Chains A and B, each alone.
Chain A
Amino acid sequence: MTFWDRFADTTFWDRFANTTSTSWDRFADTFLNTAVMAKYLPDIIDGFCLTVWLAALVVVTGIAAGLLLAVVRSLGVRPLNWLIIFIVDLFRALPPLVVIVLLYFGLPSAGFLPNAFATTWASLSLVLMAFAEEIFWAGITAVPRGQWEASRSTGLTFWQTLNSVVLPQAIRLTIPPLTNRTIAITKGTALGSVIGLSEILSQASSAMSLSFNPSPLMLGAAAYLILFLPVVVLGRWIETRFAWHR
């Protein structure tokens, strides 16, 4: 059979059409099963709300702690700076999942009984703090020395200079990298599922086990998109906005 004959043979094409249609049905039944989805939607919504709350907390505490460390580092006290660099490098090197597992299974032996929410919150905050500190510190050192000198020469104190002259410029520089890093670390809320935190992924996988159907996973993915897509778009908007004003 020549190539042209095969091309003209309609039964050859029917075969493709048939397979496509049957496997699509199977796929839809497995991953987009509306009955299963409807049943477990409330669970996914619960997980969604918990994830939003956790993510917001991580962003606030992580960035605040990172800024605080960067400000303390700018004081230039040697032993303090070594300590800060050690902590920051430690939490930048450790995978967030390892931090979560270590805290969750390690704290009970230290006398604390952590719950999954607090552990995930603390772990991700520490990791975000470490990265935010480095980004803020880079921003502070990027402000020219002449800015400090001009301000100090008019009688402003170290703290007034930091607050009114240096940080406003430093933070403007740090917005784009900080936005990216914040999004990356906040998505780590899904790691809480490992220690039984009932966030989106955990709700979705237990729903999958109960229903013997992975459709809840698709629902979970959609929930993540609904949560993080606006954040990503907001991040892009912030980046362009702050880029103009330079």
Chain B
Amino acid sequence: MSSPILEARGVHKHFGALHVLKGIDLAVAERELVFVIGPSGSGKSTLLRCLNRLEEPSSGAIIIDGIDLLDRRTDINHARRRIGMVFQSFNLYPHMTALGNVTLALRKVAGKRRAEADAIGGAALARVGLADRADHYPSQLSGGQQQRVAIARAIALEPRVMLFDEPTSALDPELVGGVLAVMRELRDSGMTMVVVSHEMGFARAAADRVLFMDDGLVVEAGTPAQIFTAPREERTRAFIGQIQRH
């Protein structure tokens, strides 16, 4: 494996007395799609949120694109441009149009003029298939469309890594396909991605590696075929068995 674009070393996270992450090591290569699965409360979302310092890790190191995120001298706002994040609940700005959502950071962080930001934002919306919804407010869009706008908002900044925190969990079943199609297209274009999700079909089809987390630790990692059909660990087998029964 070439030198990783994203690396987490010995990441711990405490919430008061609660020890949520108990020493996570993770290296993601460029263009790799890493899928993180695990039971609720296993720490997978917390890990993802530590990777762009939305949660402050208690200890450990996180290096993205050669930048040490936990270094005091690192400008975190600058570094975050390289890390796109998509949330379970979309978190679109309700007082802005789809285009306004996508262009806010382009103007405020990347320093683009409005015309240039609109052009980039329009292209990002076209990429997620929503060019004709640029002037719509989030409340006028379906959940699936909102999530695609959220993806456009992240990719417009041309991040090196994209983090997805259960991007389809809040969606009605018929809307999941559109979001997964966009993620599939991103993956095919060579975007490095870390995805926390329960979409096992997508994991099988698109993931390079699957991590199974439980109780704050990575229990097992392997190819989708290995993890889903021949898990080595008992805990992994129990979890896979449970989710495949549905």
A168 to B137: give the CA distance in the assembly, Å: 15
Q: Which residues of A contact B153 (CB under 8 A)?
A: 150, 154
Give the interface of A toward B (CB within 8 A). 144, 146-147, 149-157, 160, 164-165, 168-169, 172
Contact partner of B109 among A149, A154, A165, A169, CB < 8 A? A154
Contact partner of A150 among B91, B95, B157, CB < 8 A? B91
Q: Report A155 CB to chain B, min CB distance, Å.
A: 4
Given A147-B91, A147-B93, A169-B95, are A156 and B54 also a contact pair (CB < 8 Å)?
no
Given A155-B78, A156-B108, A164-B108, are A150 and B94 also a contact pair (CB < 8 Å)?
no
B28 within 8 A of A: no
Given A153-B52, A153-B54, A155-B105, are A168 and B95 also a contact pair (CB < 8 Å)?
yes
A154 to B52: give the CA distance in the assembly, Å: 10
Given A149-B54, A164-B108, are A155 and B77 also a contact pair (CB < 8 Å)?
yes
Q: Which residues of B contact A169 (CB under 8 A)?
A: 93-95
Q: Report B151 CB to chain A, min CB distance, Å.
A: 12
29 pairs, A vs B, C-beta closer than 8 Å: A144-B91, A146-B89, A146-B91, A147-B91, A150-B85, A150-B87, A150-B92, A150-B93, A151-B104, A151-B105, A152-B77, A153-B154, A154-B81, A154-B104, A154-B105, A154-B109, A154-B154, A155-B80, A155-B157, A156-B104, A156-B105, A156-B108, A156-B109, A160-B108, A160-B109, A164-B104, A165-B104, A169-B93, A169-B94
- Specify the main secondary structure of chain B where it touches its partner: mixed
> Which residues 79-111 of B sit at the A interface, judged by CB distance below 8 A?
80-81, 83-85, 87, 89, 91-95, 104-105, 108-109
Q: Which residues of A contact B105 (CB under 8 A)?
A: 151, 154-156
B108 touches A153 (CB 8 A): no
B92 touches A154 (CB 8 A): no
A151 to B52: give the CA distance in the assembly, Å: 12
A172 to B94: give the CA distance in the assembly, Å: 11
A156 touches B77 (CB 8 A): yes
Q: Which residues of A contact B150 (CB under 8 A)?
A: 150
B80 touches A154 (CB 8 A): yes
A155 to B85: give the CA distance in the assembly, Å: 11
A150 to B86: give the CA distance in the assembly, Å: 8
Q: Which residue of B lies closest to A157 (CB)?
A: B77
Q: Which residue of A lies closest to B52 (CB)?
A: A153
Given A146-B87, A149-B87, A150-B87, are A155 and B93 also a contact pair (CB < 8 Å)?
no
The 5 closest A-B pairs by CB, nearest first: A154-B105, A150-B91, A146-B91, A155-B109, A153-B85
Q: Report A199 CB to chain B, min CB distance, Å.
A: 39
Q: Report A149 CB to chain B, min CB distance, Å.
A: 5
* Extra contacts besides A149-B54, A156-B104 (12): CB < 8 Å: A146-B87, A146-B89, A149-B91, A150-B87, A151-B105, A154-B104, A154-B154, A155-B77, A155-B105, A156-B108, A160-B109, A164-B104
Interface centre among B95, B150, B154, B157 (most CB of A within 10 A): B95
- Beta-carbon contacts of B58-82 to A below 8 Å, as 1s and 0s? 0000000000000000000110110
Interface centre among A146, A149, A151, A153 (most CB of B within 10 A): A153
